[in-house]
Amino acid sequence: MELYYIYHSCFVAKSESALIVFDYWKDSPEKKLHELIATRGTRRLYFVVSHFHEDHYNSEILYYAGSRLIVSYDTQKRRRIPKSQPVAILRPGDSYEDENLRIDAMRSTDVGIASLVTLSDGTTLYHAGDNNNWYFPENEEEHIRCSLDEMEGMFLSNLREVRAITKKVDYVMFPVDPRLGNEMLRGACQWLQQIETHHFYPMHGWERDDEVAAGIAQLKELFPEVEFEG
């Protein structure tokens, strides 16, 4: 299995039988996403959308003939996608399964879902969508509609939900968002403390690459057993 970072929160997972695109918003400058799709051969093409926010959705995905579109319930509603078009419309607790993969829709601290994906060979991936500990202590009211304690409680509850299914994940795509300031790594640390992770990929960095890289350097010191990418 190969995993490619595209842009913001978009990744492509490439297995022997499937090409899975998570949260496509924009392609990379070198058009890596479109290259992977064009050269996928006989692999089944999937688009997985965690929620309706503009930075996680591009209507271009509706026009790939033969692809399997798997979207969160709010995406289908807010983006007015005909119910007949997706092969699955998921709420937290729902699942989708076919010959290549299984997707368990998990709760998010924001809208939509996070996705726990198990490939046919047993490889596991977790794409967080906007599930994170959005701990904005300096400008709390601008960003979240609950207290910091409530946010923390929701996030830790979501981690327990993941642990009820699996205590280890091979590939994790998770927000490391510089807008959180000194709390940028809070959610990532809590995830890594509770879920055994083999490969960790930061996302949702808003092109603030230097700050994200500095955060990843700290995580490498804290969790030397994890392979950090990006």
Q: DSSP per residue over 62-98, as a string?
A: GG-TT-EEEEEHHHHHHTT--TTS-SEEE-TT-EEE-
Domains and CATH numbers, the chain: 2-228 (3.60.15.10)
- Angle (CA) 97-102-104 rounded to 5° is 105
Specify the pLDDT at position 35.
98
Q: Among all chains, which residue has been given the structure tokens 């290549």? A: 100
Strand partners, 7: 10
- What are the structure tokens assigned to 114, written together? 């996070």
Specify the pLDDT at position 74.
98
Question: What DSSP element (H or E) covers 33?
Answer: helix 32-38
Specify the pLDDT at position 162.
98
Specify the pLDDT at position 146.
80
List of the chain residues with pLDDT < 70: 137-144
Specify the pLDDT at position 148.
86
pLDDT tens for each residue of 128-158: 999 999 998 665 555 567 888 899 999 999 9
- What are the structure tokens assigned to 100, written together? 């290549």
Question: In this structure, which amino acid lies at residue 174?
Answer: F
Question: In this structure, which amino acid lies at residue 12?
Answer: V
Q: Does pTM surpass 0.85?
A: yes
Question: In this structure, which amino acid lies at residue 4?
Answer: Y
- Residue among 42, 50, 54 nearest 21 (CA): 50
Q: What is the mean pLDDT of the chain?
A: 95
Whether 208 contacts 181, CB under 8 Å? no
Whether 90 contacts 73, CB under 8 Å? yes
- Angle (CA) 53-55-59 rounded to 5° is 80
